[in-house]
Chain A
Amino acid sequence: MKITRGVAIAALLGIAACLTGCGTLGVKPWQRDLMAREDMRLDANGMDQALDEHLYFSKEASSGGRSFAGGGCGCN
């Protein structure tokens, strides 16, 4: 339960901090040249990540985190 509370509090603090403080972070629209690069997309390694997730799902007790945890696989 401590962990549940901790994760929930961290999430709430993160969201609250972002909605208030994140306004000072970031860039102007014309400064997004590097963010527009293909390797800066969070899914830039999508195929590698999918293959890796399947391997780790079948060999370890943890899965997901980056996105949904379900495996759709009977291997674990």
Chain B
Amino acid sequence: MQLKRPGAGLRAQLLAASCTLLGATAAHADDAIDPALVPTEPARSLDGALAYYHESDGRVTAIEPVISYRKSYGDDRALGLKLTFDSLSGGSPNGAIASTKAQTFATPSGKSLNAAPQTYTTASGQVISVAAPVYVVAPGQLPIDPNYHDQRLAASGSYELPLTRLVRTTLGGALSWEHDFVSTSLNGTIARDFNDKNTTLSAGVNGEFDVVKPIGGAPVPGSDYTLFEKTGNHSKHDANVVLGLTQVMTRRWLTSLSVSYDHLAGYLNDPYKIVSIVDAGGNVTGYLFEKRPETRDRRSAFLESRVALDHAMIAADGRYMTDDWGVRSQTLNLRLRLWDHDRDRYLEPSLRWYKQTAANFYAPWLLSSGPSYVEAASADSRLAPLHAFTVALKYAVKMDDGSVDDASEIAVRAQFYRQTQDHRTPGPGVLQTLDLYPGLKAVMLSVEYRTNL
């Protein structure tokens, strides 16, 4: 007779089956799960940053808080919202060249170069005297409007939506307000995966419509600065197409290529920029409001690679851009993320190098002996031949928030930017004694916090 506890066989069989299953899982844990298919993304996340930007020589200072929110619905749908505020103050170059004599300029709202105080009589008969809306630049100094200040509020949103298992689309839009500029844009991107999701092709379009409403009105391009010929608001638009290809090359190497084309049209001038007119002796004889072409076609190619090491990540990217204004630029970026052993903090140094050629119509000054009519002319240093370096260092600490990858993080970053003009053509006559191309140095400090909700 065989004595056997009821159910013992069943438990043994279940235990054996469980061990088999567990063993199988343990043996193939790395192989059985496709991390890309596991919804590790948190349902809701918040990312906030505060940046402080400061240029040397009393130029622009800016404070920029940014907050973004993302909600994923678990079925590849996701909503993204972002709010940005900028507050800028300080001085901005007006485009005129330094001179051996003091120079007087009107503020954007000014309609005269008369520096004498202006007097008004109130209804009660009281006479009020106010400073004229002008500023005077000392001899040898780069003309900078010291009263520059601006605020910008920008909001953007996007919605990601899967169309099939391999095709997804993203729809987005953005609004931006400044007291002298309003921008609206809409965009859409469609992406399809190939080759076991190792290859992704994407195509996106963006349409932007801007209203330019400068303080004091938009100057007539190329008109005499002293005549203050200004009209009302103007507009410009930008149509942009981007084609993208992302490829998983190996287990450690991801690469991405984008080519883009954009067409801008409308009032493309900077309404606050002027060009000096000088004689052969280097004396300033007048100024013109800058005049840029009314269209611009830009093309670019962008290539990025990321390589995952056990305790580091290397990201490198390069961009080549060219346009029909004659600007050709190259950009190289290198970023290295160095994790500590426990992957709960990292240090991220980065370097950027940038070089551009000048726009065809870039002219630091115009000669009074030259043609009386110019097709296009701008002394804006951003259209000059130049190169720039950025060095940055970021330090971030991850926090244990219970998510798969502990996505909560607090980070601080400091970066230094230096821009130097190339082909520094000496000025005529007495201008040869002056530094006409002072360049730009700036620092940016930022702190960022992101967390799952």
Contact = CB atoms under 8 A, between A and B. Distances in A.
A7 B299 contact: yes
A51 B65 CA distance: 10
Contact of A48 (B298, B383, B394): B394
Q: Which of A33, A56, A61, A74 has the largest count of B CB atoms less than 10 A from its CB? A: A61
Interface in B399-453: 405, 407, 413, 417, 419, 440, 442, 444, 446, 448, 450
A27 B248 contact: yes
Interface in A16-64: 18-19, 22-23, 25-40, 42, 45-48, 50-52, 54-56, 59-62, 64
B30 interface: yes
B199 A18 contact: yes
Contacts of B335: 45
B327 A67 contact: no
Interface in B256-278: 256-262, 270
Contact of A65 (B38, B150, B251, B300): B300
Nearest to B354: A60
Given A68-B240, A72-B174, A76-B382, A26 B354 contact: no
Contacts of B248: 25-27, 32, 35
B295 interface: no
B238 A69 contact: yes
B75 interface: no
Interface residues of A, number: 56
Contacts of A54: 64, 86
A62 B329 contact: yes
Interface of A: 3-4, 7-8, 10-11, 14-15, 18-19, 22-23, 25-40, 42, 45-48, 50-52, 54-56, 59-62, 64-76
18 contacts: A8-B259, A19-B194, A22-B199, A28-B196, A29-B197, A30-B33, A54-B64, A54-B86, A60-B354, A60-B382, A61-B382, A65-B319, A65-B331, A66-B258, A66-B319, A68-B206, A70-B206, A74-B183
